[in-house]
Amino acid sequence: MQTQVAIIGAGPAGLLLSHLLHLRGISSVVVERRSRDYVEQRVRAGVLEQGTVDMLVESGVGSRLLKEGLRHEGIELRYGDRAHRVAFEDLVPGRAITVYGQQEVVKDLIAARLEAGGDIRFGVQDVALHGIDGERPYVTFGGERLDCEVIAGCDGFHGISRPSVPEGVLTAYEREYPFAWLGVLARVEPSADELIYAFTERGFALHSMRSPTVSRFYLQVPVGTRVEEWPDERIWSELRTRLETVEGFTLATGEIFERGLTPMRSFVVEPMQYGRLYLAGDAAHIVPPTGAKGMNLAVADVRVLDRALGAFFEDGSTALLNGYSEACLKRVWRAQHFSWWMTTLLHTFDSDDAYGRRLQLSHLDYVASSRAAATTLAENYVGLPW
């Protein structure tokens, strides 16, 4: 088999890259070790930046997003007995976020690629990359060989793309946090119109949503927590304790139909390329979910890579490809800082650290009282312009 670009991983990054390359007339094959059903049902992030929404719409895969996505022009910071709304429409006019599950984006992209005759190989085994330091790399899987000119590693943190780079080439920057998120989906109408980020002495909580009838909740829990330790009754009790801190607010409850644990880590590798291999999305960087940047960073990577590959296949120019990593990392490190800042602002790190909690409350008061501080939060949250 032959193609111009071999794409490893059928997540948002790989599928969007394949779609954008198709619009340029560039061929690609997407290789994914999981089944299509697994990929389409995998619950992940649900907050899309303004730029991500614009890109999906402009590329022709945003019709369902515009119809079903929930556009939000603000978020609420809740701490003590206070509730402060960060108003995007006032602070960053014309820019907002849209709540639309990552799995829904994946479904839309798969449908678009298959409708256009795209080649997506689901459920493949024994994937390996070869010759990435030369001009004719290739991929093997399941006894087959796929020759290509470029490989895009979009297969996530645990994929095979990054480990295929020779040892010592990449530099990793990491930070692990001493807590995790317990996330649940419940069949209940959201109790608020916008996301609520709650800071309490018992730990962080987030009230979010997926649709007018499905709500998404997160609780800060210790590292090593097991899902089995949290039956429904305990989850609802803790959510009420952390969220019902403002007069007049009552948390609606319902059937919890999915739950899982999300480790909290920050991770970046530099550079994001080696030879003819280009890493994108979680294969190159991870952010804690507090800032809602994971999938949006993957889309930003793909935007840069698509343009670089367009120039390369149009006239052989390598300037944009050579500068791919540098261009992406500027945005990656900005998002890393914002995600770290949101995480340290809103989570309890040490139950005995009264000094640290006072600093957090002081900073929350500053965001609530300073237009400049609130604007910084707002412009980073909705996504910096391309």
Whether 50 contacts 97, CB under 8 Å: yes
Residue 381 bears catalytic tag: yes
Residue 231: is it exposed, middle or buried by C-beta count within 10 angstroms (0-12/13-18/19+)?
Answer: exposed
Residue 293 bears catalytic tag: yes
Dmax (CA) for the chain in angstroms is: 65
Residue 166 bears catalytic tag: no
Among residues 79, 218, 324, 381, the one annotated as catalytic is 381
Distance CA(171)–CA(169), nearest Å, equals 7
Whether 156 contacts 269, CB under 8 Å: no
Residue 107 bears catalytic tag: no
Q: What is the DSSP letter of 166?
A: P
- C-alpha triplet 306, 308, 310: angle, nearest 5°: 65
Residue 222 bears catalytic tag: no
Among residues 137, 207, 289, 324, the one annotated as catalytic is 289
Among residues 79, 177, 197, 278, the one annotated as catalytic is 197
Q: List, in order, residues 6 or more apart from 134 with CB less than 8 Å away.
A: 275, 276
Distance CA(86)–CA(223), nearest Å, equals 30
Query: Which helix (H) or strand (E) is 277 found in, with range?
Result: strand 277-279
Among residues 12, 19, 72, 324, the one annotated as catalytic is 72
Nearest to 236, CA basis, from 221, 260, 254: 254
Which pair of structure tokens corresponds to residue 254?
């319902």
Distance CA(377)–CA(90), nearest Å, equals 13
What single string gives the DSSP state of each residue in 308-355? HHHHHHHH---HHHHTHHHHHHHHHHHHHHHHHHHHHHHS-S-TT-HH
Distance CA(310)–CA(294), nearest Å, equals 25
Among residues 138, 293, 324, 347, the one annotated as catalytic is 293
Radius of gyration, CA atoms only, the chain: 21
Distance CA(343)–CA(218), nearest Å, equals 13
Nearest to 154, CA basis, from 283, 35, 267, 287: 283
Catalytic residues: 72, 197, 289, 293, 381
